[in-house]
């Protein structure tokens, strides 16, 4: 009982006092701040290394990009109602295996709005944020088709001599993703994809002179990739049953459906969760041929960001929705100038 009383007192103390003034000071001048965690030295990935020279060049390029935003948009460079913290951050780390679909070094710029409150505090815990992705093949779409459970390389589920084969098969299967419908192409080099409810847009900025950045995949593509992966896991009864079920599901499909473009979801399949009936979002993969490999890996060739599809009311905090507001003033034409070409 005593422990319960102490817990209730602790929870009560964690709630802001009712006398605190949490109104947003929308006219209070703020400041621009810049930070980065981009490395200045070589980065060793699981299957390649980013040189120190490339790391330094890319770090400088991202700082220039952040400055470009600051100078172009007073909402960032001359903030009111918040301090603006721009942070450039790395996407890769030493556990990353660079995929065949990747070329340009991926990173992100986060614009964080540290909102001022009338009680003298700022919104510092999960504050509003707007993210711009650079060279990342994970941006602009709904999400990956395959999200496996954690695979521990301890030999309990597959022979450890097959580790490289498991990495290869997993990378292939994880290269498929669901794409939202294309809403508009406002100008060459800009595609806007819309969520099913129309409330959110995914914006992709690219070089229109290059091959398509996304390619459709067939049901057969996903089926073959799935078999290549699950066939490596043979040590446990559960894994063997999954492979057996997968082969049964593939055998139930007609040659026509196997050759059809893959879409997310299936009414009865447990393992192969795609269909060739055009139901659900289409599956795609990133096209390696999109990248201009005559440019250095430090060049910005692909940009993604999200924005609200329509004007929104104030956020739940009662403050303006600053990320949504910035997403609406960031013009397609401006963003397209950031793509580097030969």
The angle that helices 237-251 and 219-230 make with each other, rounded to 10 degrees, is 160
Alpha carbon distance 161, 139 (integer Å): 33
For residue 256, give the H/E element and its range: helix 255-259
β-bridge pairing 200-206 and 190-194:
antiparallel
Average pLDDT over residues 153-169: 88
pLDDT in tens, 14-48: 334 444 678 999 999 999 999 999 999 999 998 89
**CB environment 8-34: b (16+ within 10 A), e (fewer):** eeeeeeeeeeeeeeeebbeeeebebee
pTM for this model (two decimals): 0.87
Strands (E), 78-153: 82-90, 107-115, 129-134, 143-144
- Pick from 126, 242, 228: which is nearest to 175 by CA? 228
- Pick from 137, 136, 141: which is nearest to 62 by CA? 136
pLDDT over threshold 80, residue 79: yes
CA distance between the termini of the chain: 72
β-bridge pairing 200-206 and 302-308:
antiparallel
Q: How many residues does the chain have?
A: 342
Mean pLDDT of the chain: 89
Percent of the chain whose predicted confidence (pLDDT) is above 90: 75
Task: Report residue 138's pLDDT band, with 50, 70 and 90 as the boundaries.
Answer: confident
For residue 4, give the H/E element and its range: helix 2-14
Average pLDDT over residues 139-158: 82
pLDDT over threshold 90, residue 312: no
pLDDT at position 5: 39
223 CA to centre of own chain: 25
Asked if 37 and 79 touch (Cβ cutoff 8 Å), the reply is no
Percent of the chain whose predicted confidence (pLDDT) is above 70: 90
pLDDT over threshold 90, residue 290: yes
- The DSSP result for 269-285, as a single string, is -SS--EESSS-SSBEEE
pLDDT at position 67: 97
Task: Report residue 325's pLDDT band, with 50, 70 and 90 as the boundaries.
Answer: very high
């Amino acid at each position: 009982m005593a422990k319960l009383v102490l817990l209730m007192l602790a929870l009560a103390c964690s709630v802001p006092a009712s006398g605190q003034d949490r109104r947003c000071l929308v006219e209070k001048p703020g400041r621009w701040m810049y930070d980065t965690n981009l490395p200045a030295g070589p980065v060793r990935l699981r299957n390649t290394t980013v040189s120190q020279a490339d790391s330094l060049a890319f770090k400088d390029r991202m700082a220039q990009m952040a400055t470009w935003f600051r100078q172009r948009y007073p909402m960032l460079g001359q903030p009111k109602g918040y301090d603006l913290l721009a942070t450039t951050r790395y996407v890769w780390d030493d556990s990353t295996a660079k995929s065949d679909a990747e070329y340009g070094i991926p990173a992100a710029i986060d614009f964080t709005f540290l909102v001022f409150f009338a009680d003298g505090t700022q919104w510092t815990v999960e504050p509003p944020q707007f993210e711009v992705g650079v060279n990342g093949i994970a941006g602009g779409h709904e999400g990956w088709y395959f999200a496996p459970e954690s695979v521990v390389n301890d030999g309990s589920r597959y022979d450890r001599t097959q580790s490289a084969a498991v990495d290869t098969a997993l990378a292939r299967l994880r290269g498929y993703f669901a794409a939202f419908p294309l809403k508009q192409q406002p100008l060459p080099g800009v595609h806007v994809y819309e969520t099913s409810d129309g409330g959110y847009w995914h914006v992709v900025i690219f070089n229109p002179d290059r091959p398509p950045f996304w390619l459709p995949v067939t049901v057969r593509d996903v089926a073959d990739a799935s078999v290549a992966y699950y066939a490596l896991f043979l040590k446990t009864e559960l894994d063997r049953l999954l492979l057996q079920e997968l082969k049964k599901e593939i055998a139930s499909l007609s040659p026509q459906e196997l050759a059809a473009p893959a879409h997310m979801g299936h009414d009865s399949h447990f393992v192969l969760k795609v269909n060739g009936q055009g139901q659900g979002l289409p599956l795609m993969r990133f096209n390696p041929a999109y990248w201009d490999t005559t440019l250095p890996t430090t060049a910005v060739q692909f940009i993604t960001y999200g924005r609200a599809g329509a004007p929104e009311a104030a956020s739940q905090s009662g403050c303006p929705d600053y990320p949504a507001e910035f997403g609406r003033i960031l013009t397609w034409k401006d963003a397209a100038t950031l793509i580097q070409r030969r």
